[in-house]
Amino acid sequence: MQKLTEERMKEVEKELKIVDNELARSVPTLEQLKKQIDTRAKKIAKLNTKIHQREDELFATFCEAVGVANIREFEEKRLQDAKRATERRLHFSSLKSKLQHQYGSLLVHASTHASMLTDLIGVLRLEYERSRNFTTNVQRKEAALQQAKAALAV
């Protein structure tokens, strides 16, 4: 068992040496790649500066006419304006949906109340007719009673 463990240790040490050698070889390559990236980033920054200068020359008259320092500022303002417009449209769309929902609810409530009022008016008309019929019957009976009294008095 100990021999097996010693053999495994030797194999692990060999693998470790191989990995160390590969790492030692790749470190300079990694440093070289970092330098290349930095060099390219500097070139890109210089090119961007040149592009911005050329844009500023080309759009100087336009920028002066619209009151901005450079075309990038103009584009940024347009982008912000478009973003605000989109946000407003979204807000108004949401508000419209809420109002439509409220309007629908109000229509349902109004319809329900109108139906209830119609039913109440029907009941009141029926009561009125009953009351009128009752009054008419009372008046007839009073008239008949008066006639009967008059007939008895004669």
Residues 6+ apart with CB under 8 A from 85: none
pLDDT for position 7: 81
**Could you tell me if 63 and 70 are in contact, meaning their C-beta atoms sit under 8 angstroms apart?**
yes
154 inside domain: no
Give the domain extent around 69.
2-120
Q: Decide: 68 and 74 in contact? Cβ < 8 Å.
A: yes
Residue 104 maps to a domain: yes
Does the residue 70 lie in any domain?
Answer: yes
Tally of domains within the chain: 1
Domain-located, residue 130: no
pLDDT of residue 13: 85
Q: Is residue 138 part of a domain?
A: no
131 within domain boundaries: no
144 falls within a domain: no
pTM over 0.85: no
Identify whether 77 is part of a domain: yes
- pLDDT tens across 53-107, in order? 999 999 999 999 999 999 999 999 999 999 999 999 999 999 999 999 999 999 9
Which amino acid is it at 108? V
